[in-house]
Structure 1
Amino acid sequence: MRVEGRLASERRRPSPERSTKRRRRSGSMTTRVQTLFETCKEVFADGQAGTVPSPEDVDRLRFVLDNMNGLDVGVAENMPYFRNKESGGTPRITYLHLYERDKFSIGIFCLPPSGVIPLHNHPGMTVFSKLLFGSMHIKSYDWVDIPQDSNDVINPAQSARPPEVRLAKVKTDAIFTAPCETSILYPADGGNMHCFTARTSCAVLDVLGPPYSDSEGRHCTYYNDFPYATFPGAADVAPGEDEGYAWLEAREKPDDFIVVGAKYRGPRIVER
């Protein structure tokens, strides 16, 4: 809009009244994507790994995302990204890149029915995930860290399990259907490790602060999860609570997890 305004002013000098009306019209046309971008710039101004935005900033960004849907980013269920073209196995996922700098990133994951984003972590990050449309199952975990002198219900016995697996507590295990509230995870809680499984065509708008960075040690790790009963005696959990825990084992990125990039064609973000 600013470019068009400059071109118009070069053709003729508008009256002050006309200029005021044009500015009002321009201001009223700010897209929700632009509002999201501007809010992210403020919320993630610090941009440091492990730094959690204030509760007030979390609420501000959550409010913006809660009021967004597929139309705001130019994404609809009839697009080819959401057609399952695979004859067998897990369908590929499409990623639409909106923005990324050192402090935060914005992108959209497009999942066909039965599409899966496998269990993975978000080291030192605060992540906002907004389901724009569709229905998906989300399962998430947080690590269980017990102090040496703890008398809590979990008392790890290291010799009873392989050293490469670690105890985690289930944070979320539920089906979400749009419209629904934005999911938020934090560096140490909120379900920092999660898995998405699409029940229908789904689009998920993700905001990561800060984004992944191999050079800064924020690389994505994938996991296998095992029921708590897989390693009996490795930890003592109160009776009836064992289903709330699992053992996680780091793994390589699954071969059948394929993400392809596509051009974002929704309202553009203007840096200013």
Structure 2
Amino acid sequence: MRFQASSMNSNRRNRRKKKASVQGLYDLCKVVFAECGPGIVPSQKDVSRLSSYLEKMKPEELGLSPSMPYFRHTDSDLSPPPVTYLHIYQCPKFSIGIFCLPKSAVIPLHNHPGMTVFSKILFGSMHIKSYDWVPSSQPSDESSTFMNGEERLAKVHVDAVFNAPCANSILYPETGGNMHCFTAITACAVLDVLGPPYSNEEGRDCTYYDAYPFSSFSGGMSVPSEDGEYAWLRGRTQIPSSFKLDVSEYEGPAITVR
């Protein structure tokens, strides 16, 4: 009887811990993004606090496991397979969600205008390639570049495979790899926190890009510097046809909005 009571108490504590983990993430995001907005990055202290919290989160605390149907490639006619997004919470200041990628799934190269983004690989192996714009001496903005279908020079920030558990990916409005592409080497789940979230009404729509080698449009110009890899990015007018995104209900521990 003593063992059974101890086991029951342990189960209760584990359930409380599960809810506290997701609830705690929401509570912390409310503080971290309270004074932030488009292009306004949280303080370094707050960035570190949120990153440290995410580092400790486990898939089971979000009700996830690799055996769930989101992570299985069931339709052989779709290649790459569809990605599922589990929406947890969104307000004008931030959003929280999970991307579920079967093996070989791809989230195409896209941007995060004016945002600070935290990405935590909960399980699996993923290739990430990200870019930042190279500052131009000519007055230009991303929207005009996109609308005119012109290429703009970018520098590769990351081009590597990450295996969970690993450090979070943190990107900023102008640095840190604001434009990135995810490719699932194995089935994997990514917890994403965006501050502020995408908003068509406020001009923070998601732009997708095609990437071309530097030599494609260099016109004889020399590489800006020898300390990295460069590419030309061209904004797309439509979402890539190969990218299928399903939005599904999040069924993990709930949060209390307050």
Among 49, 62, 70, the alignment partner of 2:51 is 62
| 1:80 matched residue in structure 2 | 69
Unaligned runs of 5+ in 2: 1-12, 139-147
User: For 2:154 and 2:87, how far apart are their aligned partners in 1?
Assistant: 31
| Cα distance in 2 for residues equivalent to 1:163 and 1:131 | 33
Q: State yes or no: 1:52 paired with 2:37.
A: no
Computed over aligned residues only, the root mean square deviation of the Cα atoms, in angstroms, reads: 2.1
1:152 counterpart residue number: none
Is structure 2 residue 114 aligned with structure 1 residue 128? no
- Residue 247 in structure 1 maps to residue 232 in structure 2: yes
- Note if 1:225 corresponds to 2:211: yes
Q: Which structure 2 residues correspond to residues 111-150 of structure 1 after superposition, within 5 A?
A: 111-147=101-137
Cα offsets for 1:17-41 (capped at 9, x unmatched): xxxxxxx999877521111100000
Q: C-alpha deviations, 1:76-116, integer Å up to 9, x for none?
A: 00000000022132100111010001000000000000000
State the match for 2:97 in structure 1. Answer: 107
After superposition, residues 1-272 of structure 1 pair within 5 angstroms as: 31-88=20-77, 89-147=79-137, 164-233=150-219, 235-237=221-223, 244-251=229-236, 252-272=238-258
Greater Rg over alpha carbons, structure: 1
Percent identity reads 57
Deviations 1:148-178 (A, max 9, x none): 6xxxxxxxxxxxxx97000000000000000
Q: TM-score, normalised by structure 1?
A: 0.82
Tell me the alpha carbon deviations over residues 30-65 of structure 1, each in whole angstroms, 9 at most, x when there is no partner: 521111100000000024100000000000000110
**1:146 shift after superposition:** 3.5
CA–CA distance in structure 1, aligned partners of residues 201 and 173 of structure 2? 18
Partners of 2:173 and 2:190 in 1: CA distance: 20
In structure 2, the CA distance between the partners of 1:30 and 1:232, relative to structure 1 (3 Å rule), is closer
Contact 1:131 1:178 in 2 (8 A): yes
Displacement of 1:126 in angstroms is 0.3
The amino acid that maps onto 1:245 is: Y
Contact 2:132 2:176 (8 Å CA) reproduced: yes
Contact 1:47 1:104 in 2 (8 A): no
Alpha-carbon distance change, 27 to 238 in structure 1, aligned in 2, over 3 angstroms: closer
TM-superposed deviation, 1:134:
0.1
Aligned residues: 235
Greater mean deviation of Cα atoms: 133-142 or 84-93: 84-93
- Tell me the equivalent position of 1:19: none
